[in-house]
Amino acid sequence: MATSPPKSKPKQPENKPLSGQEKPYLPYSQVLREKFGCKVYKVTLDAGFTCPNRDGSKGVGGCTFCDTTGSSSRAQNRRDSLTEQIQKNIDRMRARFGADKFVPYFQSFTNTYAPPDRLKRLYDEALSAHDDVIGLAISTRPDCVDEAKLDLIATYKRPDGYLCVEYGMQTIHDKSLALVNRCETYADFRHAFELTRARGIDQCVHVILGMPGETHADMMATARALSDLKPEGVKIHCLCAMEHTPLARLYERGQWQPLAQADYVALVTDFLEHLDPAIAIHRITGNGHRKALVAPRWLTKKFEVLEQVEATFAARQTRQGSALQDSPRKAPPHD
Ligand code: SF4
């Protein structure tokens, strides 16, 4: 059951970003700071995986929005060893953000797509790459985990450490998943979610707003389903086309239109209003690699979008979870 968030308007001094505690949603950075008492940053990795939706075992060509880097941030070099990637990225994050502790983030492609013994070697190497590493974040497809892999991942749990599996769910609607050639279903996600929760492993669920054919009601149903499941975190992206992807070709042929900035700002605010306030928000706007982003180009204005979302909450006098008290909970539709 959702708690009752206050309706008061957040104070926002002119030209000054809101602090974590002032934000109208629960920012993940604040959760990390409260747990670890210092600045914790993720360092992205490319561990050399591929994906069953690319190599033919589930599908070919990948999701229509996925680029040749496997939806990575391109902050790493695949030719470097994991240890080299971590050490270089830590040096960069420390210099740029004054970060104190670090979490290697297995980001590119599907980071549980290997037998457990190979996964163990990679996860062990990441954990021992630097004294200031405090845990692991592992991004994967829900249909690429099983009991043996999650039993292995659970061995990395520490009371004073970090451990999170990030699942690309994207939406609860199978019709939309089929339209982006995801080659998996919401049932796959639910199965992975339950196996992961049974082992006490934190989960961050990735969601995409603006999936082809989805209505406003469809997206709010996704938020409500997540509110019922209560993963520890949610990461929200706007569907975007990166260069050399099937989605970019659809865009260039005029067969797909991205959301406009103002529409996304309103939509992500609505989504957060339908999301349980205890769920930490890892991100509310994805920023695909600036040079490779085809559309929508406004995604490069990340801080402007964040400010507009905060201003929308302030104008509405709402915050994360507000809508859950205002209307009866409905079961999500079945595809
Ligand atoms: S599942 Fe992930 S890595 Fe695989 S094609 Fe889709 S977005 Fe890319």
155 token code pair: 């061995």
Q: What is the mean pLDDT of residues 292-309?
A: 95
Q: How far is CA 22 from CA 18, 25, 141, 163, 315, in A?
A: 6, 8, 34, 26, 15
Query: What are the domain boundaries of the chain?
Result: 28-320
Question: Atom 6 (ligand 1): residue with closest C-alpha?
Answer: 63
Q: Report how far ligand 1's centroid is from the alpha carbon of 183 (Å).
A: 10
Residue 62 Cβ inside 6 Å of ligand 1? The answer reads yes
Residue pLDDT, tens place only, 84-93:
999 999 999 9
Residue 170 Cβ inside 6 Å of ligand 1? The answer reads no
Q: What is the pLDDT of residue 79?
A: 78
Asked if residue 99 has pLDDT above 60, the reply is yes
Residue among 277, 283, 280, 281 nearest 321 (CA):
277
Phi, psi of 287 (to 5 degrees): -125, 85
Q: What is the pLDDT of residue 334?
A: 43
Q: What is the pLDDT of residue 204?
A: 98
> pTM of the entire structure?
0.91
SS3 of 54-93: the string is CECCCCECCCCCCCCCCCCCCCCCCCCCHHHHHHHHHHHH
Residue 142 Cβ inside 6 Å of ligand 1? The answer reads no
Q: Report how far ligand 1's centroid is from the alpha carbon of 68 (Å).
A: 10
Residue pLDDT, tens place only, 141-164:
999 999 999 999 999 999 999 999
Residue 109 Cβ inside 6 Å of ligand 1? The answer reads yes
Asked if residue 28 has pLDDT above 90, the reply is yes
The label of the residue with tokens 């749990």 reads: 157
Mutate to test the pocket of ligand 1, among 46, 58, 65, 66 (most ligand atoms within 8 A of CB): 66
Q: How far is CA 181 from CA 59, 173, 219, 266, in A?
A: 8, 13, 19, 27
Q: Report how far ligand 1's centroid is from the alpha carbon of 18 (Å).
A: 34
Q: What is the mean pLDDT of residues 119-124?
A: 98
- Distance between CA atoms of residues 81 and 105, nearest Å: 14
Asked if residue 190 has pLDDT above 70, the reply is yes
What is the number of the ligand 1 atom nearest to the C-alpha of 59?
5
Q: What is the pLDDT of residue 288?
A: 64
Residue 136 Cβ inside 6 Å of ligand 1? The answer reads no
Residue 219 Cβ inside 6 Å of ligand 1? The answer reads no
Higher pLDDT, 37 or 287: 37
Residue 63 Cβ inside 6 Å of ligand 1? The answer reads yes
Q: Does domain 28-320 have CATH number 3.20.20.70?
A: yes
